[in-house]
Chains A and B, each alone.
Chain A
């Protein structure tokens, strides 16, 4: 970390944020490709938007990259088989957030035969490109899983900046760092394609400054790219504080533009893409292989060999952990994603989804949380909130079920980053309270609508 990097850009000021522990144990671990598992479970809802309908039948032979689920809706993305083999079952599974969705269980034949439909897409202009991105099944790989073609379809005249999110502010996770180190040319070639096809001049790659090697690698390829094309690609080292990788925060840090409540980055002329997403675009344009595998970080004190693994989508958590040497001790908590915003899982039967970037098996010691006590009004929650909210006030309105007060005090701006609960000395369940408040507002809106 020691030597200072000399780069032209400086990030703009961000309110709040916390100094979460980094715990990037796997930052130096070269990604390992996991062999295909015996069976995968392809979930029909791996994105924000309409879930897909299965397009295959039980007993059907499928190949790698073949569509197994699709939807007519615009805000949706098709899902593909990540192995070759036979469809064993089409079932309904319960997601960790409680929703029930369909999933296709495929028994692998271990051959990984690609589907014959897999060939490089023909791109003649913007429309072709957007169609290709949709059929690649790409969703935002940073965690939220917003279908990428929807983002890229933003009004061409409005957008002037592409922000590549490589902040990776969540503790433990190093998958984006490995992407930058192992595939920097892929990243820049993906950026170039997006720039050319969407006619964007300015690209800012935001990386937290606790990844100096990634910054250096990306800066090198950026300089090479700037020499032989119009437009400007640059790397912006961000402060290594959580949550610099949150969409609204990174847009403000990179451009000083504020996304208004309920608006999208495109409304302030920005498109934000995760570094893995843009690298995937490059490989898709070359090979035509849809999103069937992804790089994830497997870590946590309960895992024997923490590392970065490239895993076929739909692989069960248990198989991934087994590949990483199994459990070293009884895990207390299993997480999809990082410890700040990740989702706790009920068991290790869940399949990997497109947008997951980490699996953490936390030991009892790591997952320890203290009993909540009374709020002492110390104001730490308010001072760390990157959105400038005052959680105790909002929690008061939640108790009163006062949706007017909640709206007035900006409950819908909350992105549940968890800084407040992280900083709280009384261990209050603040994020739950905020979620409840948002639900109250949404339900009140529904009632008024009817």
Chain B
């Protein structure tokens, strides 16, 4: 043997899972929701998706370059952030505002805290909240679905949650299929559920957070006198519970922590919807629970095998 052998510590095998593959799965799972966005809200939503993805990737590349760190655009996480942010925007938003959102997500929330795995809140959600606070009117100007087919000037509509405040209701079928006003990616419950099933089947996410989040919204809105079916299918509950609350970095790792996280998101969402001066509370509930994640994790860490209880108190 002339050549030198590789010496490395065990294990010498790997499962073949990669960050890139996980992110690719998330992108695949968001395809149905993206298609639904284009179907209901037209080419404007396709442009928003394109603008967000492109600016997130470019911003991540520039950031890493400026910070003299390894380029990480290859892991596709910036694509996921861009796509999720786009799906959380109203159809008529000025693309420049969307780019501002991308700067908040990638530069401020993600890279300034150390890049992938180090942000303490969800970048896309934070960007959405910053946009909502910065541009309250454009961020809450909704369009009726299929308007893009009829007229050159789109007619503004209201979201089902806002309609309820005015005493109007939307049919369950329209909610399920997405034939309603709202952010481009949040309306089609069917597409979001398909994506969620794909993620669970691929074992990318555990179903605990989505189920506990949606379940809590269902039960609590029923107890407080709301329409539970309406509440779980309207607003951003599906998008938030399946794709945003399950973000690895900002949600607890162990099953009990995930359960608490999901229930917490659900409770805050319902309380904001029913008692606060805002029609929608999914974003705020997730960001608040993101901040609580380290504490939830500390309190719910499983007991190691064969570790006696008394040691834990020490």
B248 and A379 contacting across the interface, CB-CB below 8 Å:
yes
Within 8 A of A (CB), among B67-125: 72, 75, 77, 114-118
Instruction: Kindly identify which residue among B6, B17, B297, B305 contacts A425, using a CB–CB cutoff of 8 Å.
Output: B17
- Residues on B with C-beta less than 8 A from A379 are 248, 253-254
- A342 and B10: CB pair below 8 A? yes
Instruction: Check: B171 CB closer than 8 A to any chain A CB.
Output: no
Report whether A410 and B307 are in contact in the complex, using a CB–CB cutoff of 8 Å: yes
Give the Cβ gap from B119 to chain A, nearest Cβ, in Å.
10
Stretch at the interface among B18-26, B146-154, B188-196, B264-272: B18-26
* Chain B positions within 8 Å of A340 at CB level: 10-13
B226 contacts partner chain A, Cβ-Cβ < 8 Å:
no
**B12 contacts A367, C-beta separation under 8 Å:** yes
B305 near A423: Cβ-Cβ < 8 Å: no
B306 lies within 8 A of A248 (CB): yes
**Contact flag A426-B19 (CB < 8 Å), given A344-B8, A378-B248:** yes
Is there an interface contact between B19 and A390, defined as CB atoms closer than 8 Å?
Answer: no
Q: Which of A333, A342, A377 makes the CB contact (< 8 A) with B117?
A: A377
A399 CB within 8 Å of chain B: no
CB nearest neighbor in A for B313? A408
Is A260 close to B, CB under 8 A? yes
Give chain B's interface secondary structure class: loop
Which residues from chain B contact A376 at a C-beta distance below 8 Å? 19, 22, 77, 116-117, 248-249
Contact A432 B9 (CB under 8 A): yes
Whether A450 sits at the interface, judged by CB under 8 Å, is no
B17 and A424: CB pair below 8 A?
A: yes
Query: Does B116 contact A374, Cβ atoms closer than 8 Å?
Result: yes
Structural contact, A421 and B11, CB atoms closer than 8 A: yes
A393 touching B248 in the complex, CB below 8 Å, given contacts A340-B11, A373-B72, A377-B117: no
A427 to B18, CA, bound (A): 8
Across the interface, A431 reaches (CB within 8 A) one of B3, B11, B77, B297, namely B11
**CA gap between A306 and B18 in the complex, in Å:** 31
Q: Give the CA-CA distance A346 to B77 in the complex, in Å.
A: 38
The yes or no answer to B133 lying at the interface (CB within 8 A) is no
Whether A327 contacts B12 in the complex (CB less than 8 A), given A376-B116, A390-B302, A410-B304, comes out as: no
A: number of interface residues (CB 8 Å): 68
**For the complex, what is the distance from the CA of A408 to the CA of B307, rounded to whole Å?**
9
Q: Interface size (B, Cβ < 8 Å)?
A: 42
Partner of A333, one of B5, B22, B253: B5
A388 touches B305 (CB 8 A): yes
Q: Determine which of B12, B304, B311 lies in contact with A388 in the assembled complex, contact meaning CB atoms within 8 Å.
A: B304
- Chain B residues contacting A427 (CB-CB under 8 Å) are 14, 18
Contact partners of B254 in chain A: CB under 8 A: 379, 382, 390
Stretch at the interface among A13-21, A65-73, A179-187, A190-198: A13-21
Residues in B neighbouring A260, C-beta threshold 8 A: 306-308
A408-B19 contact in complex given A382-B254, A393-B301, C-beta closer than 8 Å: no
Bound together, the chains give a CA A21 to CA B13 distance in angstroms of 9
**Bound complex: CA A209 to CA B146 (Å):** 57
Is B253's CB under 8 angstroms from A416's CB? no
Q: Given A259-B306, A376-B117, A382-B254 in contact, is the A418-B22 Cβ separation under 8 Å? A: no
Query: In this assembly, does B15 line the interface, its C-beta being within 8 Å of a C-beta of chain A?
Result: yes
A261–B303 alpha-carbon span in the complex (Å): 11
Scoring A residues 360 to 401 as 1 if CB is less than 8 Å from chain B, else 0, what string do you get? Answer: 001000010110011111111011001111101100000000
**B306 with A333: CB separation less than 8 A:** no
Instruction: Check if B301 sits within 8 Å of A435, measured CB to CB.
Output: no
Report the separation of the CA atoms of residues A171 and B10 in the bound assembly, to the nearest whole angstrom: 13
CB distance from A223 to the nearest CB of B (A): 34
**Residue among A334, A369, A425 making CB contact with B5, cutoff 8 Å:** A334
Let me know if B7 is at the binding interface, CB within 8 A: yes
- A413: which of B115, B304, B314 is its contact (CB, 8 Å)? B304
Q: Tell yes or no: B299 within 8 A of A by CB.
A: no
Residues A330 and B3 in contact, CB atoms below 8 Å apart = yes
B304 and A409 contact, CB distance less than 8 A: yes
Q: How far, in Å, is B112 (CB) from chain A's closest CB?
A: 15
Q: Which residues A333-347 have CB closer than 8 A to chain B?
A: 333-335, 339-347
Complex contacts, B312 vs chain A, CB 8 Å = 408
Asked if B1 is at the interface of the complex by the 8 Å CB criterion, the answer is yes
Report the minimum CB–CB distance from A369 to chain B (whole Å): 6
Asked if residues A423 and B9 are in contact (CB atoms below 8 Å), the reply is no
Given that A373-B19, A423-B15 are known contacts, is A431 also in contact with B306, CB under 8 Å in the complex?
no
In the complex formed, the residue of A with least CB distance to B11 is A418
In chain A between 345 and 360, which residues have their CB closer than 8 angstroms to a CB of chain B? 345-348
Q: Does B6 lie within 8 Å of A367, measured CB to CB?
A: yes
Q: Are A261 and B307 CB-contacts (below 8 A) given A376-B249, A393-B301, A425-B21?
A: yes
User: How near does chain A come to B63, taking the closest CB pair, in angstroms?
Assistant: 14
Choose among B3, B11, B19, B302 the residue that contacts A422 (Cβ–Cβ < 8 A): B11
The chain B residue sitting closest to A423, CB to CB, is B15
* In the complex, A332 has a CB within 8 A of chain B: yes
Residues on A with beta carbons closer than 8 Å to the beta carbon of B12: 333, 335, 339-340, 342, 344, 362, 367, 369
Residue contact B314 to A263, C-beta cutoff 8 Å: no
Q: Which residue of B lies closest to A371 (CB)?
A: B70
Within 8 A of A (CB), among B260-283: none
B118→A374 contact, CB < 8 A? yes
Q: Mark A275-316, 1 if CB is under 8 A from B, else 0.
A: 000000000000000000000000000000000000000000
* Alpha-carbon separation in the docked complex, A171 to B302 (Å): 29
Chain A nearest CB from B139 CB (Å) reads: 29
Q: Is the CB of B1 within 8 A of A347?
A: yes
Query: CB < 8 Å: which of B5, B248, B307 contacts A344?
Result: B5
Q: How far is the CA of A20 from the CA of B72 in the complex (A)?
A: 29
Q: A319: shortest Cβ distance to chain B, in Å?
A: 13
B75 CB contact (under 8 Å) in A248, A373, A390, A408 = A373
Partner of B11 from A248, A339, A382 at Cβ < 8 Å: A339
Kindly supply a per-residue 1/0 record for chain B positions 217-242, scoring 1 wherever the CB is within 8 Å of any chain A CB and 0 otherwise.
00000000000000000000000000
Q: Are A413 and B22 in contact (CB under 8 A)?
A: no
CA distance A373 to B23 in the complex (A): 14
Contact at B301–A409, with CB atoms within 8 Å?
yes
Given contacts A332-B6, A379-B248, 6 further A-B contacts (CB under 8 A): A15-B305, A345-B5, A367-B6, A374-B114, A410-B304, A431-B9
The 7 closest A-B pairs by CB, nearest first: A410-B304, A418-B11, A379-B253, A425-B17, A339-B12, A387-B305, A339-B13
18 A-B pairs with C-beta separation under 8 A: A171-B13, A340-B11, A344-B10, A344-B12, A345-B5, A346-B7, A362-B12, A374-B117, A376-B22, A378-B22, A389-B304, A409-B301, A413-B306, A416-B10, A425-B19, A426-B18, A432-B9, A435-B9
